[in-house]
Amino acid sequence: MASAQETVQKLIEPIDVRINGDRPFDIQVHNEKFYRRVLAQGYLGLGESYMDGWWDCKQLDEMIARVVRGYLEEQVGVGLKDMWVTFLSKIINMQQGRRAFKVGRQHYDVGNDLYTRMLDSRMVYTCGYWKNAKTLDEAQEAKLDLVCRKIGLQPGMSVLDLGCGWGSFAKYAAEKYGAKVTGLTVSKDQVELGNRRCSGLPAELVFQDYRSVKGTYDRVVSIGLLEHVGYKNYGEYMDVVKRTLKDDGIGFIHCIGNSNSSSSSSNAWTNKYIFPNSMLPSLSQISRAMEGQFVLEDLHNIGEHYDPTLMAWYRNFEAAWPELRDKYGDRFYRMWRFYLLSSAGGFRGRNIQLWQIVFTKRGRPQPECRFS
């Protein structure tokens, strides 16, 4: 019977990654227990053993991209904790009620000092648009402007921003297009800093779950929210948009999506350490929730733009780490490095996508918007 090390070596041979090789995307193993842990626990074991210092990889992003392209996750299978997360997501609404605020406390409230150093000057925590951009600031402004053009934003329009982050879109839409924006987030830190950044503009951020919002708006957008909504709640999400969107309005979704299959949860490592109770929707899940309510006007995949965005965040994080080390500690560093670089590898390997979806209510004339 092959040993755990021999099994792992055989698995990674087709993707041209070596154990203790001399190339930057080769894995350097420091603890022999690594092999059995990965085989038994899958992605959770891979991530936790990296956090524990059991292995290293200089170019972790490229190693993960090769793992994705070689479908190694399917060959290794899932661990018990992955199966437990999936089981819970089937019987419990993991994003309902107070659970919806957990990701705010655990992830978005981890520290504004971290995010101000990692992100661009507008603090956009979603995919940039690098078509004609050379810097992260340029890519994020291009993305924000692309959203405004896709929804045909005009001065004086009212906009509901579901999942507003630190108010980057709200501030941009108010400054550049003269819109009046109400943003909702489940992060107290985002509300506090975001409202200071939007001071003097017709833009307000509110600490509130999207389901309890009232009023009607000319435009309803969500940029990075649907990943936290959960498959049990896509129908309710669409009901909220329908209720708050004026009959002649335009809706917009910007979200990371699972291009390979429909799921009910994220992997156990991401769920435990980064985005609790999150999951990536598939197009079929989104379209089923839209059926009978909305007309799809435009679908745009800009997933290739997330790789350079994540790598820019990683470079900023590395540059700022000497200032952050004392507060966050070395284990956080390894966790955050694995998060950013493995995410970049996932997009580079085309396992996940970034979709922008423009839609309207039934019966409305097709809008004259610029979709590129």
- The predicted-structure confidence for 169-210, as pLDDT tens digits, reads as follows 999 999 999 999 999 999 999 999 999 999 999 999 999 999
Of 147, 129, 142, nearest to 371 by C-alpha is 147
Say whether pLDDT at 82 is over 70.
Answer: no
* One domain, residues 122 and 43: no
**Inside any domain, residue 82:** no
> Integer distance in angstroms from the first to the last C-alpha of the chain?
56
* One domain, residues 191 and 337: yes
Residue 19 DSSP one-character state: B
- The predicted-structure confidence for 131-146, as pLDDT tens digits, reads as follows 999 999 999 999 999 9
What predicted TM-score, i.e. pTM, was given to this entire model?
0.93
- Predicted confidence band at 96 (pLDDT cuts at 50, 70, 90)? low
| CATH number of the domain that residue 236 is part of | 3.40.50.150
* One domain, residues 124 and 257: yes
Q: What share of the chain is helix, strand, coil (3-state, %, to 5)?
A: 50, 15, 35
Residue type, 279: M
Please give the pLDDT value at position 36.
Answer: 93
Number of domains in the chain: 2
Separation between Cα atoms, residue 48 and residue 39, nearest integer Å: 13
Query: 249 is in which domain, residue-wise?
Result: 94-361
**Inside any domain, residue 270:** yes
